Chains A and B, each alone.
Chain A
Amino acid sequence: MDKFTVLSAVAAPLPEENIDTDKIIPARFLKTTKRTGLGVHAFDSMRYRADGSENPDFVLNQEPYRKAEILITYDNLGCGSSREHAPWALLDFGIRCVIAPSFADIFHNNCFKNGILPIVLPHDVCEQLMEDARMGGNARLTIDLPRQVVVRPDGTEVPFNVDPLRKKLLLEGLDDIGQTLQHEKEITIFEERRAQAQPWIPRIVLD
């Protein structure tokens, strides 16, 4: 997982609510057995027309947003299916940060796990940032994770909250498993205690 520290990049405004994971990556692209290569299919139904050509009206098909690394939307981003292909597709497209007034739980979680920083900001702030993003190529947003602020093109700063543990993992580019395995002893103790208290819990063994 790549570290996330300070990101200064083009932001794409996508002023919609309830962008579900089917929209981020439709189910028919889930047949891969790898994590990479989904970027070309990100937002497939909005990004391409029925004949397969690009829809010029869609923001990620326009300059400078083809190179966007930040995405700003309205409420309930990432609702629907829990597919982690959604953050993979975003990441593969180049998105490292998503900003919205609210997120669906699982998607929010999955972003962190894949090195994408999801930021919750009030609706009107998201609107302002979208305005910033509409100013084109020079209007970069800077996401400063160590200081927990979004720096707007005019230099004003918008503070945001982030879970301290999540922040640490992002800053260090650490994966969760390594972290948890530092507590392996406690897991073993838990298992022993449980085996005594609830010996009836069956094991799954096929004959």
Chain B
Amino acid sequence: MAPRTLFDKIWDSHVVETLPDRTAILYIDRHLVHEVTSPQAFEGLRLSGRRLRHPDATIAVVDHNVPTSDRTQPIEEAESRNQIETLERNVKEFGVPYFPLLSARQGIVHVVGPEQGISLPGMTIVCGDSHTSTHGAMGALAFGIGTSEVEHVMATQTILQKPAKNMKVVVEGQVGPGVTAKDIMLAIIGHIGTAGGTGHVIEFAGSAIRELDMAGRMTLCNMSIEAGARAGLVAPDETTFEYVRGRPFAPKGEAFDEAVAYWKTLAADEGAHYDRVVEMRAEDITPVLTWGTSPETVIPVTGTVPDPAAEADAGRRAQMQRMLDYMGLKAGQKIAGTPVDVVFIGSCTNSRIEDLRSAAAIAAGRKVAAGVRAMIVPGSGIVKAQAEEEGLDKVFLEAGFEWREAGCSMCLGMNPDRLTPGQRCASTSNRNFEGRQGPGGRTHLLSPAMAAAAAVTGCLTDVRELI
């Protein structure tokens, strides 16, 4: 057999059948369900008299809409309440395992899956949310699907899909101080652009990637979608196996050893073909952030806002100008020193315990600047409890941060955590589109450490000055 990539191997082992036009009926091992993209799928099943083929390969959580403040109170927003209640009715009717709002295991679906050992190496994992790519960090093929596909997976445990192309992004070397997985990923997106991975599955490789812990790898794979890719992947290795060991839904004892033996066969074969390879040096990556309303507008924190006049293409020039106007920035201005109103540390990109530790290291012994609202939203109830055990909540509270309950929160502003028009936010989330965090809100994407630095200085700041 020809040498195969990690993606090829996972793909091949899940093809039930290939239809004449190369579309595969691809078997799905794990289906993650949340309240926003599932109601219409359950509605469809009900209308056609279908059931879930495998409720025991499915897990439901509430995350997008949930309030991140006091949860003993009823949910105020009628529509949010309606979606949550609809999910609760549906999981009961269709027998789907579910972590309810008040469960300690509740959290953002992409934090919960790996944390519970539900997402495992070599699996195919889908969810009606584009950041499903996060689970690729486990060495699983994981991608976001739309609601019709959610219904399709529920009814058939498969999905119809054509194979993607293979792309490899190699980052060799060692990153400098203050540079995190988020900076690596933003640098990659800045380099290849938001359409750089279109049609491809990106495998991240190289010594700088292998050095990352699982949280870092999840940050990387999470934002593969911002690079246009269908999914992101990191080959499973000892770091992965150690992470999985002992998780609630992971295989135990002998079954675990058997699983590891299989997982070890997944890494790409020597000489496997990639349609595209991009190489970067870790030493060239500095702490970065975005200045515009597209995730590819990445500049070093030491840099200046680019000038549209220097752009040859008229369409791009106009777009850049619009971004500048929307963001309230001027061409050529230094990005560091720009005052922020809000700091958001959370989202499926950066809300794991490692992220909170890195933010806390900067926040410790400092105070949130006057006039800045800074919030920490842990990715799950488990992350929150772990952080509290380590005393991180105290560090944050003493510094003047809000310490909140788990959920998507200000990542997309569906719950009450939203920016108001014109507010500038240093955010650890993954999207900076116009209005993403609230109508008129201005988002700068950056790492948890950089976000904490912005909170305590009141402006976008090079975190290295605070280390």
A residues apposed to B, CB below 8 Å: 16-18, 20, 22-23, 26-28, 30-35, 45, 50, 74-76, 79-84, 87, 102, 104-106, 109-110, 113-114, 163-165, 175-177, 179-181, 183-184, 186-187, 190-191, 194, 198-206
| Chain A residues near B17 (CB-CB < 8 A) | 183, 186
| Chain B residues near A32 (CB-CB < 8 A) | 79
From B21, B50, B83, B144, A165 is in contact (CB under 8 Å) with B21
Count, chain B residues at interface, CB 8 A: 79
Binds A, one of B249-257, B357-365, B388-396: B249-257
Interface flag for B37 (CB, 8 Å): yes
Of the A-B pairs whose beta carbons lie under 8 Å apart in the complex, a sample of 20, sorted by A's number, is A17-B315, A18-B319, A30-B36, A80-B433, A82-B129, A82-B130, A82-B144, A105-B230, A163-B23, A165-B23, A177-B151, A177-B152, A181-B155, A183-B16, A186-B25, A191-B157, A198-B262, A200-B251, A200-B259, A202-B117
Interchain nearest-CB distance for A70 vs B (Å)? 21
A79-B194 in contact (CB<8A): yes
Q: How far is the CA of A27 from the CA of B64 in the complex (A)?
A: 10
B195-A75 in contact (CB<8A): yes
From B43, B117, B155, B194, A18 is in contact (CB under 8 Å) with B194
Interface flag for B104 (CB, 8 Å): no
Q: How far is the CA of A16 from the CA of B97 in the complex (A)?
A: 43
B29-A187 in contact (CB<8A): no
Interface flag for B448 (CB, 8 Å): no
SS class, residues of chain A in contact with chain B: loop
Asked whether A74 and B315 contact (CB < 8 A) given A23-B433, A84-B147, the answer is yes
From A81, A164, A191, A204, B118 is in contact (CB under 8 Å) with A204
B130-A81 in contact (CB<8A): yes
Interface flag for B82 (CB, 8 Å): yes
B40-A34 in contact (CB<8A): yes
Interchain nearest-CB distance for B448 vs A (Å)? 22
Chain B, residues 222-266, CB within 8 Å of chain A (1/0): the string is 000000101000000000000000000111000110110010000
Interchain nearest-CB distance for A18 vs B (Å)? 7
Residue of A nearest to B77 (CB): A31
B433-A181 in contact (CB<8A): no
Binds A, one of B53-61, B376-384, B399-407: B53-61
Binds A, one of B170-178, B337-345, B434-442: B434-442
Q: How far is the CA of A28 from the CA of B151 in the complex (A)?
A: 23
A176-B16 in contact (CB<8A): no
Interchain nearest-CB distance for A195 vs B (Å)? 12
- 10 closest A-B pairs (Cβ-Cβ)? A31-B79, A33-B39, A84-B146, A200-B255, A82-B130, A113-B148, A203-B56, A82-B144, A110-B146, A84-B147
Asked whether A82 and B128 contact (CB < 8 A) given A22-B436, A204-B56, A204-B59, the answer is yes
B:105-134 near A, CB below 8 Å: 117-118, 120, 123, 128-130
| Chain A residues near B21 (CB-CB < 8 A) | 163-165
Asked whether A206 and B97 contact (CB < 8 A) given A82-B146, A84-B37, A183-B16, the answer is yes
Interchain nearest-CB distance for B226 vs A (Å)? 9
Q: How far is the CA of A176 from the CA of B149 in the complex (A)?
A: 9
Q: How far is the CA of A104 from the CA of B229 in the complex (A)?
A: 9
Interface flag for B331 (CB, 8 Å): no
B86-A33 in contact (CB<8A): yes
Chain B, residues 128-161, CB within 8 Å of chain A (1/0): the string is 1110000000000000111111011001111010
A190-B146 in contact (CB<8A): no
B residues apposed to A, CB below 8 Å: 16-17, 19-21, 23, 25, 27, 29-30, 36-37, 39-40, 43, 48, 50, 53, 56-59, 64-65, 77, 79-80, 82-83, 86, 97-98, 117-118, 120, 123, 128-130, 144-149, 151-152, 155-158, 160, 194-195, 198-199, 228, 230, 249-251, 255-256, 258-259, 262, 294, 315, 319, 412-414, 421, 431, 433-436, 439
Asked whether A187 and B156 contact (CB < 8 A) given A31-B82, A33-B39, the answer is yes
Q: How far is the CA of A83 from the CA of B40 in the complex (A)?
A: 12
| Chain A residues near B435 (CB-CB < 8 A) | 22, 26, 45
Residue of B nearest to A35 (CB): B40
| Chain B residues near A184 (CB-CB < 8 A) | 156
Most B-side CB within 10 Å, residue of A31, A45, A79, A194: A31
A204-B97 in contact (CB<8A): yes
Interchain nearest-CB distance for A98 vs B (Å)? 15
Known: A187-B157, A201-B29. 13 other contacts (CB 8 A): A17-B319, A20-B433, A26-B439, A33-B86, A79-B195, A87-B146, A105-B198, A164-B21, A190-B16, A199-B258, A200-B256, A200-B259, A204-B56
Residue of B nearest to A178 (CB): B48
| Chain A residues near B130 (CB-CB < 8 A) | 80-82, 106
Interchain nearest-CB distance for A174 vs B (Å)? 12
From A33, A74, A187, B83 is in contact (CB under 8 Å) with A33
| Chain B residues near A191 (CB-CB < 8 A) | 27, 157
From B20, B53, B98, B434, A22 is in contact (CB under 8 Å) with B434
| Chain A residues near B412 (CB-CB < 8 A) | 27
A28-B414 in contact (CB<8A): yes
| Chain B residues near A20 (CB-CB < 8 A) | 433
Q: How far is the CA of A76 from the CA of B194 in the complex (A)?
A: 9
| Chain A residues near B199 (CB-CB < 8 A) | 105
| Chain B residues near A110 (CB-CB < 8 A) | 146, 148
Asked whether A202 and B414 contact (CB < 8 A) given A82-B144, A163-B21, A187-B27, the answer is no
A114-B148 in contact (CB<8A): yes
| Chain A residues near B129 (CB-CB < 8 A) | 81-82
Q: How far is the CA of A102 from the CA of B434 in the complex (A)?
A: 21
